[in-house]
Amino acid sequence: MTGPRNGTGTAALAVAVAGLALCWSVLGGLVCGVVALILGGVGRARATRREADNGPVAAAGMALGTVAVVASVAFAVIWGLAWRDSGGAAYVDCAVKAGDDRAAAQACTDEWVNGLQEKFGVSPRPTRGST
């Protein structure tokens, strides 16, 4: 008789933790979360068939994988709203129209940065004298 096949459940937990760490990047959290759900399901099935003895670890991987997916979706919404509120689409349109004209592209960037400063009161560029 062979020992328990716990690798899948343990992998689910490890991948889920990675998904939580990467959820801000959206794609990393989604991919890791879905992989954790799949691995966790396989691990739980093995535990049910008594081929593995770490069913709770696999279940934890599934739970954290679900959290990673939900957090990634939330970050996608946050990033989308931030892009919209910052005028990102107008900046891209301006830059595309500028084409290879470096001066026009720089004008697009300057206009976008000035808009960020006016709208949010922040400077994405360091100011003189700051360290």
Q: Does a structural domain hold residue 96?
A: yes
Whether the pLDDT of residue 96 is over 90: the answer is yes
Q: For residues 78 and 113, state if they share a domain.
A: no
Q: Return the structure tokens found at 89.
A: 């689409």
Interval 42-92: pLDDT, tens? 999 999 999 999 999 999 999 999 999 999 999 999 999 999 998 999 999
What pLDDT is recorded for position 82? 92
Specify the pLDDT at position 130. 55
Residues 22 and 38 both lie in one domain: yes
- Asked whether residue 52 falls in the same domain as residue 105, the answer is no
What is the predicted pLDDT for the residue at 131? Answer: 53
Distance CA 120, CA 111 (A): 14
User: Does some domain include residue 129?
Assistant: no
Residue 62 counted as domain residue: yes
Same-domain status, 94 and 45: no
Region 9-16: mean pLDDT is 97
Do 13 and 74 fall within a single domain? yes
Same domain, 109 and 66: no
| pLDDT score for 91 | 93
State the residue range of the domain holding 107. 86-120
pLDDT tens column, 101-128: 999 999 999 999 888 888 888 766 666 6
3-state SS string over 25-51?
HCHHHHHHHHHHHHHHHHHHHHHHCCC
Give the pLDDT of residue 1: 53
Residues 54/7, Cβ–Cβ less than 8 Å? no
